[in-house]
Structure 1
């Protein structure tokens, strides 16, 4: 469900929690069109700005002089959340590598130094590349990191409270909107003499 639109580079949003469709006006004059393409599009739920030209190059549908762009990131109607799943796997790989490093620090200083140097060079945030290279260089430690990652994931799933997580996210959103509202409101001065 789309609750907002972005027309000719200026966002008009009625909700901070839903995706929006971006409409880029097609101008008949090349100069006018060039000015519109030069404008930046923004989203209230992302801290980045996208040039209109880059956004308009995605899958488009033309409707009476407008281009409807419906392939912006974060629209998951028919998706499997593969990007979220990938980030979760990356996080568990990083956590597993840190856990194994802490264990090795106490039990095997030589392997600790080797793995510490390896982690600094090959970032565990790219899990697939990290584990492939680790398997080639030290198969035993790679298996240990993978087993630790699986164990940590199972422990996380067991302790995950979906309702509480939803409530926490909702509360955070509400608090952020409240803080933003408080920043925009002009309070009357406290001076009673005037």
Structure 2
């Protein structure tokens, strides 16, 4: 099955002017007009076999992340991690001003336990070592999230993402346009 989308500069897939080919195995092969050369287009659109029978080029598989039919659990986890990070940073700033010895201990604790950026694990360890600080971080995290929810305009974020997508596609389209020659040589150009 092949679908050819129109090359008009609209948002998302229409602006990509993509040809989509679905094979029997559920693998998508994508061609786009935004490639730099015809050779790249041909390489991506054809199945090249190098003795071992494997496909080469860009392949989109249905089982990879980014297929959001059911949940956005990865996004939710990133938001929770971010607010935990902000809460830890906020508590560190408060301790720096109000309780320097506790700041030194907490700073050392965070330095030793935050290498993997697993903020849930950091809180689990913190609850065992210093429950009072852990509770302070958890309350601060909830407070920061509550303030963000009140100030966050989801419609505005959607609008910003849409406008950024459109601008990126417009800029790329302008990069790919070959402007017609107007007949003047560089020495006749008044700008030079």
**Quick check: which one's strand share is greater?**
1
TM-score band, normalised by the shorter chain?
A: 0.5 to 0.7
Q: Pick the aligned partner of 1:191 from 183, 186, 192.
A: 186
Please name the residue that 1:11 is paired with. 30
Q: Pick the aligned partner of 2:156 from 160, 164, 168.
A: 164
Distance, in Å, in 1 between the alignment partners of 2:93 and 2:138 is 15
Secondary structure, counterpart of 1:11 in structure 2:
strand
After TM superposition, the score normalised by the length of structure 2 is 0.67
Q: Pick the aligned partner of 2:63 from 55, 71, 75.
A: 71
Kept after mapping to 2: 8 A contact 1:122/1:130: yes
Kept after mapping to 2: 8 A contact 1:91/1:125: no
Q: Pick the aligned partner of 1:84 from 75, 85, 93.
A: 75
Name the count of aligned residue pairs: 155
Distance, in Å, in 2 between the alignment partners of 1:6 and 1:129 is 43
Q: Residues 126-165 of structure 1: matches in 2 within 5 Å?
A: 126-165=118-157
Query: What runs of 5+ residues in structure 2 fail to find an aligned partner?
Result: 4-12, 34-45
Q: Pick the aligned partner of 2:51 from 31, 54, 77.
A: 31
Query: What runs of 5+ residues in structure 1 fail to find an aligned partner?
Result: 15-24, 42-51, 56-68
Distance, in Å, in 2 between the alignment partners of 1:152 and 1:173 is 29
Cα deviation code 1:36-76 (max 9, x no counterpart): 2xx242xxxxxxxxxx6xx7xxxxxxxxxxxxx42221111
Distance, in Å, in 2 between the alignment partners of 1:73 and 1:190 is 52
Kept after mapping to 2: 8 A contact 1:93/1:125: no
Distance, in Å, in 2 between the alignment partners of 1:185 and 1:30 is 35
| Gap change, CA 1:131 and 1:30, over 3 Å in 2 | same
Please name the residue that 1:104 is paired with. 95
Structure 1 residue 179: deviation in Å? 2.7
Distance, in Å, in 2 between the alignment partners of 1:121 and 1:186 is 55
After TM superposition, the score normalised by the length of structure 1 is 0.66
Where relative contact order (Cα < 8 A, 6+ residues apart) is larger, the structure is 2
Structure 1 residue 31: deviation in Å? 2.4
| Gap change, CA 1:185 and 1:120, over 3 Å in 2 | farther
